[in-house]
Structure formats: C-alpha cells, structure tokens
Amino acid sequence: MLARTWHGVVPAEKADAYHDYLLRTGVPGYRGTPGNLGVFILRRVEGELAHFLLLTLWDSWEAIGRFAGPDPARAHYYPEDADFLVELEPTVTHYEVLDVPAESY
C-alpha cells in the first residue's frame, strides 16, 4: 500500500468553504479512482492561515497514476483551487505504508 500526501494553505476565514470545496471536487476524484483505498482530510489553523493535509491511500503506483497522470509527484489541482489557496504547491509526497503489529498499539 502507498500513501500520498498533499499540503495546501488557505486564509483561515476560507477554511470551512475550502473544506466544502474539497468534498465536492478532490474527495470524489480520489474515491472515484480505481485503486484508491481511502481519503483523509486533516486541518490545522495557525493564526490567519489554515493548513490542509490530504492523505490518500492507494493499492499501487498504477492507481496513483490513474488519478495524478504521468508524473505522480506533481500535485493535481482543480479550477477553483486558485481562488482559495495561498500558493499552488507543485509537488506531493509518497510513502510506503508499513504494517504495525497489533501489540504496539
């Protein structure tokens, strides 16, 4: 399993509206891609800025490519993202998901 993380920053006053926007655009885009195993939206407000971290889980590099296109390290944006985000960060990060033994919980 692979994890893909994307980070974005919006003005804090737009945080709720951006969350709603993600639920209409990015989340269905992820979930509608064969091989997607889950989507998590994390949000942290720091003063006047809200940080969003999207964590998605995938069954293979091929599945990530179906969502992201030929360069899986490039961030995938939707048309209205520029109306919310302070900047369009160009890349994402990928991780291998490793098993955690139950006795370590």
CATH class of 2-99: alpha beta
SS3 call for 88: coil
The per-residue pLDDT string of the chain (105 residues; one tens digit each, 9 = 90 and over) reads 999 999 999 999 999 999 999 999 999 999 999 999 999 999 999 999 999 999 999 999 999 999 999 999 999 999 899 999 999 999 999 999 998 777 766
Question: How far is residue 53's CA from residue 77's CA, in Å, rounded to a whole number?
Answer: 14
Q: What does the pLDDT read at residue 105?
A: 62
Quick one: pLDDT at residue 101? 75
Whole-structure pTM value: 0.90
Name 76's Cβ contacts closer than 8 Å, sequence gap at least 6: 6, 29, 67, 68, 69
- Phi and psi of 29, rounded to 5°? -65, -45
CB 44 within 8 A of CB 50: yes
